[in-house]
Each structure stands twice: as structure tokens, then as C-alpha cells.
A and B are shown apart, each in its own frame.
Chain A
Amino acid sequence: MIEVLGLSKHYGGRKAVDDVTFTARPGRVTGFLGPNGAGKSTTLRVLLGLDAPTSGRALVAGRRYRDLAQPLRTVGALLEGAGPVPERRAADHLMWLARSNRIPRRRVREVLDLTGLAEAARRRVKTYSLGMRQRLGIAAALLGEPDVLILDEPVNGLDPDGIRWVRDLLRDHAASGRTVLLSSHFMAETAGIADDVVIVHRGRVVVRGSLAEVTAGHASLEEAFFARTGDRTGGPR
């Protein structure tokens, strides 16, 4: 379970996130949607304890992220702009992560197999394609067999097979009773995966509910977004 309660984050005078409230429930994929600059990544950074909130709370499994004893065993996260040092080998990257949270070494091999990177595990990350780096990020997120997955734009750089693989992975994860929060600006793609939807725009939640509720009366999730925001530019402020 993820609970974001009245969360605000200001940078100087700019309100990146303004009184955002939503819940991502176990057993469901929650799409966290909005255009670039809407406040999605900022919300996720606060949720993961990377940035301090100006006000409000963000809880994972009922606790602040910073209070989790072994965070990687509770939450698996993939964030944009957060990756391994390019000169390090992929296996070494996963190995130090595993060690930091007392995750067994066998899990490194398992997630490399799961993400199709086993053959390339000894290669340095700088030799990876964008899609392979994305898979490595997902492997890191899955390392601790977490109950909660928080993924920011996970299909960026993936080919159609990879996108389908991510979709199946997230559906399976939720089907096993775990929580998935999927942040994306691809509305059509997310509509194919999400059970629930939270749409943010200019730092505020404009609508939240089940996919059926949010899209009721609209041809698509994208149309629902434009109808709610009145913004067809989709660009950041």
C-alpha cells in the first residue's frame, strides 16, 4: 500500500507538487499519469525519501520510506535519472545493491535471468543499449522481491517485446496481491495496464479513481485527461 497525503514540495517559490493525495492499493496497478513537468517524478522522489516534503506525508506499507529497515525488500523502484555508474559491470551493480540490504547473492542471478540480461551481466553498463539499461533498472527494482513496485517510465527505450514483458510483469506482480505504482506520460500505454489512475497536472491531482471511472464518458484515457485539464499542449509549465 502506498499513501500520499496532502503532499506538497516547493522549490523556492515554485510549487512542483501541491497538496497531492492518492492511494495505491495492493493487488492493483495504479497509473500515475501526467505530462512532463506535472510533478510525477518529484512526488516519487519524496515518496522514496530522496527529497524532503515541504508539507504532507508519503507512506509505503504504513511507514515513511526512510524508516524502512531494509527498503529494497519492501519497495522496488525505478526512477528516471537514477542509474548505475556506466563503467561498472551490471552484475557488480546488482551485487552491491544486494549486499547493502542483505539480499542473497542468488537473487542477482535470478533477476538477471528474469530480465534477460544474464548473458550481458559481465559487460560494463556503458556498453548497454537504452533498453538494456532499463531492464537493468527493473532488475534492481526486483532484487529484494518487494511487495511494492514504483516504476517511473519503465517502458522508455524498450522495444515492443520489452514493453509487453513489462506489462506482463506488472500485471503478474499485482495479481499476486502486491502493489504497483506506474508513473508515465504515455496515457494509451498505461491504460492497457492500470486498474486505477491518478492524473496530475501542474503539480495537482486533477482526477483519481478506477480506470473505468476516470474514462467514463470519454473515448480514451487521453481524452479524459484533456477534458479534465483543458490543456492540449501537454507541456510543462
Chain B
Amino acid sequence: MTVRFRDLVAAERMKITTLPATWIALAVALAGHTLLGFAAGTDIVRVAGTAGPSPIGQTGTLMLAPAYALAAVAVLAAGGEHRAGQLRVTLAAVPCRDRLFAAKLATTAAFCLLASIPAALPGHLLRHAAAWPVGEWTGRFGASVAVQVLLGLVGFGFAVVASSVTVPMAVLVVLAVLGSPLLRSALPDVVRFLPHEAASSLAGMSPALGPVAGLAVLAGWAVVSVAVAWRVFVRRDG
């Protein structure tokens, strides 16, 4: 009687849902999306810029911040294994690393997908309530969900490789907050292919790539990150 894949998925789901940090991250994502959605929808807050005050909804770095909170769930799922040596406990329970990685990846992606909907929906409703017809509205929401899931997968892979929670989150946030703004004028053709800029394009907050190209670039980052992580995970000593 071998271990079934669905048992591994169930075990990984239990790991994610029994960590308080998961629910804290989701609460932060929900609060962030809701507050920013309200501010953008009502246009009560504007951000000062060189060309004068601009709507908060056009500030990609700020509007995407809650997505990083949700990405932290994926980073925790992968990097958290290295806290207190839990990875060794996990590998002793599930020594087939390919199956373990596949289960962890599937569970994390599914959780991020399902969690991103209630986390982002209130804010999206507040921001885009007037954006009818329904097709346009759902398209924007789908892009928002895709951004969160793909950023999560980028962080997931990075966390496996770095064996850490803090390093990938710090790099992702620093790239978004400092890297993109500082390099945008000097290296625009490079910066627009960074995960944060691709996410901004996908979410319609940046004209750098356009939504479709943004989706392709961000998905590419996610695929590369996960593929490298898978290879490292299978080969590295525990």
C-alpha cells in the first residue's frame, strides 16, 4: 500500500493551514486589497509625483503590495520547511522527492489560487464596481488573481532554492520597491522584464509590456523559478 498523491496533498494542505503566519498573510492581503481598492475606486487619495498628483490606482508598486502579502503564503510553504529542521521530518515521511515537490507545488498553487479570490474580491469590487460590462470586470479580476498566483510561485521556487523565508521575500520586495524605480530610467528594457514590472503590466497598471506580454513574462519567471527549485530540491542533501 503506497502513499497516495492525494494524501501528500492533504498533508501539505494541513501544513499550510496550521501555520498562523498563513492566516496573518491572508488577513494583510485582504485588508490591503480592500483599503487600496476603496481608495482607488473613490479617488480620495492621490500620490504626489513629478507631473502632479496621480490616482493611487495607477501606482503599481502600492497597488500590488497586497499581492506580495499573498505571495508570502507560498514562500512560507516552501521556505518554512527549513525552520527547526522540519524538512528532514518531511523527507523522512515522504522520501520520494519528486512526488513530494509535486504535491507541495500543487497544494501551494491551489491554495494561492483559492485564497486570492476572497482576498482580492472586496477590493476589486470597490475599485471596479463601475467597470461594466461583466466581461471587462472579470478579465481584470482574473488578471489580479493570476498576478497573485504567479508571484506566489516565483517566491515559492526562490524559497526552495534559498532554503529560507526571509531571503526570497526581501529580494522580491526590494526589487519591487527599490530595484524597479531606480533602474527604470537607466535600463528600461531590462526592468520591464522583472517580475514586478511584468505583474504591473498584467494587472493593467503599467504600459511597459501590456497585459498579455506581462502574463507571459511573469509566467516565464514562475516556470523558471519552479523548475530550478525542483532540480535543486531533488538533488540537494537533506
Contacts and interface: CB of A to CB of B under 8 A. Distances in A.
A87 B11 CA distance: 17
Interface residues of A, number: 35
B2 interface: yes
B88 A101 contact: no
Interface in A78-98: 79, 81-89, 92, 95-97
Given A50-B238, A95-B14, A82 B92 contact: yes
Nearest to A48: B92
Contacts of A140: 89
Given A50-B237, A92-B14, A102-B1, A81 B88 contact: yes
Contacts of B14: 92, 95-96, 99
B15 interface: yes
B3 A100 contact: yes
Determine which residue in B1, B10, B95, B96 has the highest number of CB atoms from chain A within 10 A of its CB, and name it.
Answer: B95
Interface stretch (A63-71, A195-203, A219-227): A63-71
A29 interface: no
A82 B88 contact: yes
Interface residues of B, number: 31
Given A83-B84, A84-B86, A100 B94 contact: yes
Interface stretch (B18-26, B140-148, B178-186): B18-26
A95 to B, nearest CB: 6
A155 interface: no
Given A50-B237, A101-B3, A86 B11 contact: no
B80 interface: yes
B4 A102 contact: yes
Interface in B1-50: 1-4, 7-8, 10-12, 14-15, 18-21
B11 A96 contact: yes
Given A51-B237, A83-B85, A96-B11, A69 B91 contact: no
A65 B3 CA distance: 14
A82 B89 contact: yes
A49 interface: yes
Interface in B43-80: 80
A45 B92 CA distance: 9
A87 B17 CA distance: 12
A173 B96 CA distance: 28
Nearest to A45: B238
A72 interface: yes
Contacts of A72: 92-93
B95 A65 contact: yes
Contacts of A86: 83-84
A88 B89 contact: no
A52 B10 CA distance: 28
A99 B237 contact: no
A43 to B, nearest CB: 13
Interface of B: 1-4, 7-8, 10-12, 14-15, 18-21, 80, 83-86, 88-96, 237-238
Given A71-B95, A82-B88, 7 more contacts: A48-B88, A48-B92, A66-B95, A68-B95, A96-B12, A99-B14, A101-B93
16 contacts: A45-B237, A48-B92, A50-B91, A65-B95, A69-B1, A82-B86, A82-B92, A83-B85, A88-B15, A89-B18, A92-B18, A99-B7, A100-B3, A100-B93, A102-B1, A125-B84
